[in-house]
Amino acid sequence: MTMQNTSIQVYQNDVKPTLGQRQRAVMEALRYRPEFTNNELAEYLQWPINTVTPRIFELRAKGKVEESCRRADGVTGRKAIAWRIKKEIGQTKLL
């Protein structure tokens, strides 16, 4: 996925400043690999799951991320929700 310079600038100037450090880390992970589950994010970021889950909840409440699909989790093998950056943000501001 290639990002245009204007999209990167919008992200840096508009989206990033409104988020906390951990929320930004989750958004960065989802920018480069969409459709992470909470467990996959926790493994990728090397955080406990109870640090990731509230960040996803907060980002959903802010309208930054949305459910992408339900699929087998890469860590547990159980069916889980995979998250992505909300389409409006991903298409208009980040891509």
Tell me the CATH number at 67.
1.10.10.10
Q: What is the pTM of this model?
A: 0.73
16-48 pLDDT, tens digit each: 556 899 999 999 999 989 899 999 999 999 999
- Report H helices in the chain: 5-10, 21-32, 38-45, 49-61, 87-88
Give the domain extent around 27. 5-94
The more confidently predicted of residues 52 and 92 is 52
What is the average per-residue pLDDT within 91-95? 44
- DSSP state letter for 73: -
58-81 pLDDT, tens digit each: 999 999 999 999 999 999 999 999
Amino acid at 15: V
**pLDDT at position 32, please?**
87
Q: How many folded domains does the chain comprise? A: 1
